[in-house]
Structure 1
């Protein structure tokens, strides 16, 4: 065993937790007791490993301990005693040691435990669940966040989130733990990627509350997307989504001022942007475009790369961005993409042309969140009002711009965004 500091052990446990849970759910099929057993194994590891050192096969250690705890738990359940004792007798507890890399039932060169992580993601994003339940269950089972952490991220009481997660577990109870068949894979993978991006989106720009950025959620979404990409390295949608997240998160250091105030993209100090992340994201975006037809995530990543690669706001290649948005809105009905296109139109053809494009989006559709990838808050009515206000200000219509800024401020539940929009309105007061 090797001695490791507590931070490294915490990272190791977070990495292996979904793999261990996936292994137990695949073997036993009981989501709730399997999750409890994994938590007990993680607690045991957190207590033992700092003193005894990390075992040579930490994943195998966790699977072995968790399987023993789960077997004990199932044996103590009187109603299921006979069935579970039979299963335990057929499979000795010591048999649950994870196989070495490249070996196991999945065949040479594959890692069965990581395959279990992806299968667990598919299970958490089962179509019987609502998007809110998919997100909560994914964060709990795959992300390893506590119920309290998930509740705080969604600004709901812990008891409410616990009920939501419990209902989601019951809904997928008894579902066969396996990867979807090829004909269903694309649709289910789309749901997985959408859930991961919604988690990132909420972390990058919180829809409500006092904080603009929830670092933990954004980083967790990126970590999980990296895991999916390790398993599906040639899937352009996965590569594109990871590129979009990395390129967007790279701007985080410059998004807020000293007092936490929001700083818009065109006013940010680009010297604060994470250039290492931008280099990685740009390479990923280029790779994603080479992995088949350009989809929503690939196009959004290409747009993000053009923003990040511009040394100054005035150096941004807006004609190219507009061309990419034209492709994007042709592919998806997402109002956020249409609103992004309107901004690009304004930057290429002037604020009046942009206002015409924005006005064409006004109506019931403008208030509905879209399903596509986006790197800014959801395309609610307040977003349309905020863009219109900015374009009206650029066009010299101060009174109309002030009213639009105030309407946008009244429409958002994000306190930093509301403060920013009201400050813009006050700047235009006579």
Structure 2
């Protein structure tokens, strides 16, 4: 049995049940039961139409679960209208489900969390890590979101901005985490871009392509993290970069700047430099200024401090960093880098070690540990 196939079918099956009238929470329960049945039955005899099989089994589980409730008569009427088994609609229910989870009754944070769980297939722990909150807190948030969606009108999908945040989080989880969802996020964003004429949708697609183009160079043969400045740029996907830049230029020409377009512009400047030394850091700082104006995000200001350090010198970068909260994720790593650039190897080594201790990603932790060890073993260590 193809586990990736089974995983890819979950959103479409869930969407079909909700379209038929099942409430969100009950539909998800029914789909999970169908998946358990598939794991038991498919290894020896995978059906010709796996999605149709899952829809049929999940719908029957839903009907069985609701017949004993007060709504028995209405649910049985729905059961009589069940379409015959066979190939299911070719409509991309996954994209529809993204909009469904972004319904107006939910806060953006809850909509993102619910979508990552129901559509992205991420575990509660992975979503909690993305939000930097305890797993129990995220479990409660998702449960509340399910209850809200269950009682809401589901014919009023949410807004594009929330869907874009969802897609970007899914992409980032696939790019840096332990679940490869980057390709799926790009596929869905392509489809959204074709369906909606919106410069920020195009900006997000460009950003994804520009980041994904560097993926092959991000890790060494031993699996260790390779920083952007040290990557083999010959391994970057030049066609994907060209596509991303073209999409970005078209979006920017509409003069409706948004945060994803600004992020894509920064990524494009990195991609445009044939070697690290030729990176246009002055322009990158200017784009970070625009991004900070759009988002008021401390993480943006943290990344801007790095860019300032490259454009105007390490001490200028440290001055920009001093205005920020030391509790920010990766603050110590940035401080370590800038202190090393300023020639203070002792402070840099200490901060690299502290950053490694705080890192939640194993590959990042290993990289920071190696940086600290490198400085400690050097002539001034």
TM-score, scaled relative to structure 2: 0.80
Picking from 178, 191, 216, the partner of 1:214 is: 178
SS in 2 for 1:257: coil
Partner of 1:318: 281
- Do 2:13 and 2:54's aligned partners in 1 also have CA atoms closer than 8 Å? yes
Distance 2:287 2:147 in 1: 43
Match of 2:316 in 1: 353
Q: Whole-Å Cα distance in 2 between the matches of residues 10 and 264 of structure 1?
A: 30
Aligned to 1:287: 250
Instruction: Tell me, in whole angstroms, the C-alpha distance in 2 between the residues paired with 1:309 and 1:39.
Output: 46
The alpha carbon displacement at 1:425 in A equals: 2.5
Distance 1:35 1:423, change over 3 A: closer
**Paired residues of 1:250 and 1:278 also in contact (CA < 8 A):** yes
Gaps of 5+ in 2: none
Match of 1:28 among 18, 21, 38: 21
Deviation of the 1:324 alpha carbon: 1.6
Tell me the alpha carbon deviations over residues 290-344 of structure 1, each in whole angstroms, 9 at most, x when there is no partner.
Answer: 3551100011011111212322111222222222222212222111221222222
Tell me how far 1:66 sits from its aligned partner: 6.1
| Larger RCO (alpha carbons 8 Å, 6+ apart) | 1
Structure 1's 74 and 202: CA in aligned 2 closer, same or farther, altered over 3 A? closer
Tell me the equivalent position of 1:150.
123
Aligned partners of 2:280 and 2:246: how far apart in 1? 18
Counterpart Cα distance in 2 of 1:162 and 1:27: 27
**How far apart are the structure 2 equivalents of 1:410 and 1:70?**
47
Unaligned runs of 5+ in 1: 1-5, 102-112, 206-212, 368-379
Deviations 1:130-169 (A, max 9, x none): 77754453234323x3xxx625645899999877655532
Q: Is the 8 A contact 1:247 1:278 kept in 2?
A: yes
What is the root-mean-square deviation in Å for CA atoms of aligned residues? 3.8
Instruction: Rate the CA distance shift 1:418–1:80 in 2: closer, same or farther, 3 A.
Output: same
Aligned residues: 371
4+ residue stretches of structure 1 with deviation over 4 A?
Answer: 13-17, 36-48, 50-54, 61-64, 94-99, 116-119, 126-133, 154-167
Q: Give the aligned partner of residue 424 of structure 1.
A: 371
Change (3 A) 1:38 1:253: same
1:178 paired residue number: 155
CA 1:141/1:319 → structure 2, altered by over 3 Å: closer, same or farther? same
C-alpha displacement of 1:24:
2.9
Summarize the alignment of residues 126-145 of structure 1 with structure 2, pairs less than 5 Å apart.
126=103, 134-143=111-120, 145=121
Residue of structure 2 aligned with 1:415, choices 362, 366, 371: 362
List per-residue Cα deviations over 1:336-358 (Å, max 9, x = no partner): 22122222222222222222222
* Contact 1:247/1:305 (<8 A) preserved: yes
Matches within 5 A, 1:25-64: 25-35=18-28, 47=42, 53=48, 61=52
Q: How has the CA–CA distance of structure 1 residues 294 and 155 changed in structure 2, closer, same or farther, with 3 Å as cutoff? A: closer
Alignment correspondent of 1:338: 301
C-alpha separation in 1, matches of 2:363 and 2:58: 46
Match for residue 67 of structure 2?
76
Q: TM-score, normalised by structure 1?
A: 0.72
The residue matched to 2:123 in structure 1 has which SS? helix
User: Residues 238, 62 of structure 1: CA spacing in aligned structure 2 closer, same or farther, 3 A cutoff?
Assistant: farther
Return the alpha-carbon distance in structure 1 between the equivalents of residues 8 and 173 of structure 2: 22
- Match of residue 263 from structure 2: 300
Residues 416, 18 of structure 1: alpha-carbon distance in 2 compared, 3 angstrom cutoff = closer
Could you say if the C-alpha distance between residues 62 and 347 of structure 1 is closer, same or farther in structure 2, counting changes exceeding 3 Å? same
- The change in CA–CA distance for 1:418 and 1:40 in structure 2 (over 3 A counts) is closer
> Which residue of the partner structure matches residue 201 of structure 1?
172
Q: Quick check: 1:18 aligned with 2:29?
A: no
Paired with 1:159 and 1:343, the residues of 2 have a C-alpha distance of 34
State whether residues 63 and 97 of structure 1, in contact with CA within 8 Å, keep that contact through their aligned partners in structure 2: no
Quick check: 2:203–2:248 contact (8 Å CA) kept in 1?
A: yes
Task: Specify whether residues 276 and 305 from structure 1 end up closer, same or farther in structure 2 by C-alpha distance, changes over 3 A only.
Answer: same
